[in-house]
Chain A
Amino acid sequence: MSVLLLSLSLPAHAEKITIAAAADLKFALDEMIAAFPLNPSTDEVAVTYGSSGKFFTQIQQGAPFDLYFSADIALPRTLAKNGFAASDVTPYAVGRLVLWSAHRDAAKMTLASLTDPQITRIAIANPQHAPYGQRAEEALRAADVWPQIAPKLVYGENIAQAAQFVQTGNAQVGLIALSLALSPPLASQGGYWLIPDTLHQPLEQGFIITRRAANSALAHRFADYLRTPSARAVLARYGFALPGEAVVK
């Protein structure tokens, strides 16, 4: 009985949304959610970070996610085509790939430095399914170092695990997301070198509101919020290029 009274006493518009987001968004999206104006006593925004491919599968199997932020816009496009979206596929950012090390100054390195015999382990995200891994492989092939460095590569489940391999010193260097290299835990260490975007396909990222959130006012409000200058400023601060703007060089 008391439970019933409690639920009746809540305002009718109390809402909760759950977001599934690519691992490269971890720090930027956390900041945007913290700055998102919502009624903290009634509304709640929860977020899960992981690999875009895993969330793609889970949403098709009916996972309770209201918004899906993929690191590869092709995945939400496929979901939308198959009827899992309640919105257009919205491009929200273009990711950048960097060379990063925790213990040496990667700013002084280039992809050619990876052939140095002192470097025995290079971490990238798994190119089989992680968008950043696919772009890393493209860049390494375009720079003509792939054959020499392929035996040194280790594969993270997603871009965050690749960064973790480097941070723990188990790999000396990694090709990770600029957004992670600029994040508070990593920014103080090592340094990064921006990989020229001419070496790989763009990391165009997109999101959708999922079908289950079609009637969620909060989900739509969050999607609108991403178009505001303050949300865009956070993305820009984490090194993302914004849709409709020139890519950072």
Chain B
Amino acid sequence: MFLTPGDLEALWLTARLAGCVTLILLVLGTPIAWWLARSEAWWKGPVTAVVALPLVLPPSVLGFYLLLAMGPQGVVGQLTQALGIASLPFTFGGLVVASVCYSLPFMVQPLQTAFESLGERPLEVAATLRASPLDAFFSVAIPLARPGFITAMVLTFAHTVGEFGVVLMIGGNLPGITRVASVQIYDHVEALDYLQAHRLAAVMLLFSFVALLVLYTWRRPQKMGGMT
């Protein structure tokens, strides 16, 4: 067999994690991006900076704070315990929470750019046709911003697939629960099993290339279609 059962399990786990994170961020990130694209509040600057933080922070910083915050003495840990949930490190839920923080800018930034490039006109036109703001958002803004949504979702998914440092720091390396593909490759290398590391790494390389290829070939006709 080309990949071991452990490798397949890690890949499946990675796909589930990236899928969950993409869906959650779609719901969380869209209103944030919409607000950032249209607000003129003074605290837009600080919010933009907070959203962009994971782009510049080392994963070890995120992993360190998450490990402390989600532990039994941490703020998040106290909250989850009060809610009757066991602590989040070493669980799939913990990885989802961590990855949502880690991948947030990859969802928000492309959406924000897409919303900004819409301008005021389409929404004003919709308003004169008596569309409520919510109606205008769903039937005008979202369809027009579709290329932005595709970019945001592909980048969020692919970036979550590529996550390593944070899951290494809070995951506990549990097969089927927190041992994602990037950690599995690391384990193969540490265990000096280079052949298996090569095989899984090649799968990841191919996936990343295809994801980006799809993204860049898809976007071009979309843009032209929008202009005609």
- Residue B189 is within 8 A (CB to CB) of chain A in the complex: yes
Q: Is B187 within 8 A of A129, CB to CB?
A: yes
Chain A positions 119-162 with a Cβ under 8 Å from a chain B Cβ: 120-121, 123, 126, 128-130, 153-157, 161
Least distance between A137 CB and chain B CB atoms (Å) = 14
Chain A positions 150-209 with a Cβ under 8 Å from a chain B Cβ: 153-157, 161, 164-165, 168-171
Taking CB atoms, residues of chain B closer than 8 Å to A168 are 67-68, 71, 73
Least distance between B66 CB and chain A CB atoms (Å) = 10
Q: A170 and B90 in contact (CB under 8 A), knowing A154-B173, A155-B172, A165-B172? A: yes
Q: Is B173 within 8 A of A155, CB to CB?
A: yes
> What is the CA–CA distance of A33 and B190 in the complex, to the nearest angstrom?
27
- Residue A243 is within 8 A (CB to CB) of chain B in the complex: no
Q: Is A128 within 8 A of B190, CB to CB?
A: yes
Q: Which residues in B have some Cβ–Cβ distance to A below 8 Å?
A: 67-68, 70-73, 86-87, 89-90, 168-169, 172-174, 187, 189-192
**Besides A155-B174, A156-B172, A169-B72, 19 other CB < 8 A contacts?**
A53-B192, A54-B190, A56-B192, A57-B189, A121-B172, A126-B173, A126-B187, A128-B187, A129-B187, A154-B90, A156-B173, A157-B190, A165-B89, A169-B71, A170-B67, A170-B87, A170-B89, A171-B90, A171-B172
Q: Which residues in A have some Cβ–Cβ distance to B below 8 Å?
A: 51, 53-54, 56-57, 120-121, 123, 126, 128-130, 153-157, 161, 164-165, 168-171
Interchain Cβ contacts under 8 Å between A and B, 26 examples: A57-B190, A57-B192, A121-B172, A123-B172, A126-B173, A126-B190, A128-B187, A128-B191, A129-B192, A153-B174, A154-B90, A154-B172, A154-B173, A154-B174, A155-B174, A156-B172, A156-B173, A157-B168, A157-B190, A164-B67, A165-B89, A168-B71, A169-B71, A170-B67, A170-B71, A171-B90
